[in-house]
A and B are shown apart, each in its own frame.
Chain A
Amino acid sequence: MLNVKHNEPVEFTEEMLGKFAEIVARYPEGRQKSALLPILHEVQAKQGWLSVPAMDKVAEYLQLEPIEVYEVASFYTMFFRQPRGKYVLEICRTGPCCLVGAERIMKHIESKLDVREGEVTPDGQFSWRGVECLAACGYGPVLQIGPEYTFYENLTEEKIDKLINELRNKAEGRALTAES
């Protein structure tokens, strides 16, 4: 579902526009719609999710109807149409990973973060969700964290604890720098 309540206007920075132009140049003239997925990835990487104003802005940039952007954003699972935690832990929940304990890892993450799948922790830092096969079945259980989609393999409860603690520290460190 689109988040229609969130109406904050969006401006693309010069840097982003430069990147967009570079992407559009990959396709033949008049085929700029091909740039839609790569540009949505860029926008989401910068803003964390895709708000309606952001998608409208992309539509305007690519000379598309807004619906052409909405329907693509809603088709592909990687695009978030609601705000998420800063770090979204995406755990593979498909067969091969379940053979080696993915469900146990998901339960552990749920209790460690104390939020249900798809929810955001009160500090706004974390979300988690099960996702379908991440093509790393030999190294399961696995999880990824966007926007760079860093990969964590052969997960155990200990590794999850360490990872979440590290990310928490990082988040707190950043907050301090921002204040000072």
Chain B
Amino acid sequence: MARKLLLTHIDVPGINTFEVYRQKGGYRAVEKVLKTLTPEDVVEEVKKSGLRGRGGAGFPTGMKWSFLAKPEGVPRYLVCNADESEPGTFKDRYLMTHIPHALIEGMIVSSFALGANTSYIYVRGEMMPQIRILERAITEAKNAGFLGKNILGSGYDLELYVQPGGGAYICGEETALLESLEGKRGNPRIKPPFPAISGLYNCPTVVNNVESIAATVPIINDGGEEYAKIGVERSTGTKLISAGGNLNKPGVYEIELGLPVEEFIYSDEYCGGIANGKYLKAVVGGGSSVPILPANLIMKTLKGESRLMTYESLADGGFQSGTMLGSGGFIAFDEDQCIVKNTWNFTRFYHHESCGQCSPCREGTGWMEKVLHKIEHGQGTFNDIDLLVDVAKKIEGNTICPLGDAAAWPVASAIRHFRDEFEWHVTNGQEAQMRNYGLAHYADPLEPVI
């Protein structure tokens, strides 16, 4: 059995309540930091743990924390990014629903480390039930003396609030999130200045993902070095993976980083193989924004090494033959799925979610959506395929925030790896309306093993 750090007590009845969470050792990390550690010690432990941002970017959390400016007399803020909206990703919803106190405890530990006395959890507006759950958990923690003034007699004060979003994917981008938290449209800000210097209300601010913040709890309890022993190379610790698509057992799994992709898909401990006895065609390994890979390339790198669930291994081969761990949104496509249709669907998503600030993204996503719609409906030409590649290239790197890249990569990678399927839609427009292309030849002849 793999080690679990976040979901250890997921099956314990009532673990969503303060009482049971406390009985199971909850809030020990808060006691430890407030009674025995300085804020610098906490930052040091998180640095030692090697924890990398779990929202998608994978930037080392401890390093991000150490960039926080600390001018005299200016408040500092911690904002938790719970605007989980990346297609394929649903781990934060799961954690907040079932073990809300893991996030609250992590917020207290992290806020103490950063010297924040007011912190916000920005939750996407559609997660109203989770907002209620978190609000209840905050009240429970406050009643038990873990929030408010002079927590556990340490002299440290912390108020924690939940802020609802309004249904905008872009608010998962940290500066758009801060704009939204200030009551504005979610238009990303130009960086620099980075939020660590000038964030919420122009004050130094750290924005961290739900899972990153929750991970500070086991890091403090067991020590950063212990945490760093789990995993491979610079991918330390455990990661929540949201598994969706055509799998026998979709759901949220906590894995030790370094687990082979093949084992994750086919073993009974995890996804249990492809649903309905079908073959695997392709995988989007880290949320809709990361490059899609055909089955053979997700299992093995071009060098023939077994692909592992780590930041490095999934990125092996760059964008030519690799992808990214991203937010851990793992989407499996079976042999009956149409790559062109899915690419069109994802592109429509990005067009819909583009904030409209930068022309390459606002216009480019719209054009890609139109051209893909045309190809999917049997009206495309070979030039259209090249046009898509061209538009994607012109969006990438030319926008204020990474939404442009996130929109361009799925299109570029789908054409890179499944060009024959796009061409088949052009040459066999009528037929493409009636049936799917099926397994790409390079995805065959992988056997469903284990």
Residues of chain B with a CB closer than 8 A to A37's CB:
125, 163-166, 180, 183
Residue of B nearest to A45 (CB): B128
* A99 proximal to B (CB < 8 A): yes
B222 interface residue (CB < 8 Å to A): no
**CB-nearest residue of chain A to B275:** A100
Contact partner of B333 among A31, A34, A99, A140, CB < 8 A? A99
User: Which listed residue (B87, B168, B252, B341) contacts A94, Cβ 8 A?
Assistant: B87
Q: How far, in angstroms, from A180 to B161 measured CA to CA in the complex?
A: 42
Nearest B residue to A30 via CB reads B201
**Cα distance A62–B184 when bound, in Å?**
13
Contact between A98 and B345, CB atoms less than 8 A apart: yes
Interface majority SS (helix, strand, loop, mixed), chain A: mixed
Interface size class of B (residues with CB under 8 A): 35 or more
- Identify the closest chain B residue to A40 (Cβ): B166
- Set of chain A residues within 8 Å of B246, measured between Cβ atoms: 99-100
Per the bound structure, the CA–CA distance linking A95 and B331 in Å amounts to 9
Question: Does A137 sit at the interface, judged by CB under 8 A?
Answer: yes
With known contacts A77-B168, A94-B87, A133–B349 Cβ distance under 8 A: yes
Q: In the bound complex, what is the Cα–Cα distance between A77 and B168 (angstroms)?
A: 7
A138 in the interface, Cβ–Cβ < 8 Å?
yes
How would you classify the secondary structure of chain B's contact residues: helix, strand, loop or mixed? mixed
Q: How far is the CA of A154 from the CA of B201 in the complex (A)?
A: 41
Q: Is the CB of A96 within 8 A of B87?
A: yes
Q: In the bound complex, how far is the Cα of B353 from the Cα of A47, in angstroms?
A: 26
Whether the pair B167, A95 counts as a contact (CB closer than 8 A) is no
Residues on B close to A: CB < 8 A? Answer: 75, 84-90, 92-93, 118, 120, 124-129, 159, 161, 163-169, 180-186, 201, 242-246, 250-252, 284, 288, 329, 331, 333-334, 337, 341-342, 345-346, 349, 352-353, 355
Residues of A at the B interface (CB closer than 8 Å) are 26, 28, 31, 33-38, 40-41, 62, 68, 71-72, 75-79, 93-96, 98-100, 131-140, 144, 146-151
8 residue pairs A–B, Cβ–Cβ below 8 Å: A34-B163, A37-B164, A77-B167, A93-B345, A132-B353, A135-B126, A137-B88, A140-B244
